[in-house]
Amino acid sequence: MNKLIRALAAALLASGCLLSSAHANVIISGTRVIFPAQDGEVDVRLTNQNATPALVEAWIDSGDPKSTPDKVNTPFLITPPLFRMEANRDQSLRILFTHSEQPMPADRESLFYLNVLEVPPKPSGPQFQGKNYMQLAIRSRLKLFYRPAGLAGDPQKAPNALTFKAANDAGVGTVVVHNPTPYYVTIGQITVTVGGVSHKVDTGMVAPLSDLRLAVSDLKQAPSAGSAIQYDCINDYGADVVLKGNVTP
């Protein structure tokens, strides 16, 4: 059965079929996982909201969206990795840090991804007898932030520390976002107002102690210094935090 699930997952991922139009019945609590290094482990709660059981397989990858459980190599162990989840029941995934052969950075967060694959049971009943049908497996993928102990600053205040510079990339107005903190910052929405006109800016996630270049739609020149910036960031709890800033030269 384990091989069957992995083969199905590999086939779906290889075809690029993440099935955004399908509905997951196994729901993950939260939209991200924060892993404090000093704790050594975290629990993630799952809920099966369907009236039928499901087979669930979970694994962690280091950034490959086409990853499968048999081809990942991360310093984490999930228990249970494969299980039957009864209808209308909860289940906790226990994620443990097993120590990496390569040292993890101690001065900043590291990013991984938690995958939860849901395989529904084979449909039964007279309405399915003698008929063709397609059965879909659903994969959910959440960011997992490994947070070393003793990092400077407050992760909840990291979005406030972002700074914005103007740039022009081959005739495209650009905002260069600088993150001086040791924490990842996810920008869910951002606009820049130039000459009284608001322009949407591409979104993304700024890595710790790094820059991220974001293109400004409908703007062919660098935003002028002093232009107002409004941006939404997603905090540890999955909530949006609305902030304001200004473009610097």
Q: C-alpha dihedral over 142, 148, 152, 158, to 10 degrees?
A: 0
Which residues touch 166 (CB under 8 Å, ≥6 apart)?
A: 173, 174, 175, 176, 222, 223, 224, 225, 227, 247, 248, 249
d(CA 203, CA 207): 13
Contact predicate 138/24, CB 8 Å: yes
Instruction: Give the number of C-alpha atoms closer than 13 A to the C-alpha of residue 19, restricted to the C-beta side.
Output: 19
Secondary structure of residue 79 in the 3-state scheme: strand
Return the domain boundaries, the chain: 2-147, 155-248
Taking Cα atoms as reference points, which of 236, 109, 248, 239 lies closest to residue 177? 248
| CATH class of segment(s) 2-147 | mainly beta
pLDDT of amino acid 130: 65
**CA distance linking residue 155 with residue 208, whole number of Å:** 11
- What is the per-residue pLDDT for 10? 46
The residues near 87 (Cβ < 8 Å, ≥ 6 apart) are: 48, 50, 51, 52, 53
Q: What is the pLDDT of residue 102?
A: 74
Give the per-residue pLDDT at 125.
Answer: 62
For each of the chain's 249 residues, which pLDDT tens digit applies?
455 445 444 444 444 343 333 567 899 999 999 999 999 999 999 999 988 899 999 999 999 999 999 989 999 999 999 999 999 999 999 999 998 777 889 999 999 999 999 987 776 666 556 666 566 789 999 999 999 999 999 999 999 999 999 999 999 999 999 999 999 999 999 999 999 999 999 999 999 999 999 999 899 999 999 999 999 999 999 999 999 999 998
**Cα separation, 137 vs 115, whole angstroms:** 13
In this prediction the pTM is 0.85
pLDDT at 101: 74
Query: What are the angstrom distances between the C-alpha of 47 and each of 24, 63, 116, 136, 145?
Result: 11, 25, 12, 19, 22
CATH class of 155-248: mainly beta
Q: What is residue 217's predicted lDDT score, i.e. its pLDDT? A: 87
Task: Evaluate whether 2-147 and 155-248 have a shared fold.
Answer: yes
Q: Are 212 and 176 in contact (CB under 8 A)?
A: yes
What is the identity of the amino acid at 118? E
Rounded CA-CA distance 218/174 in Å is 11
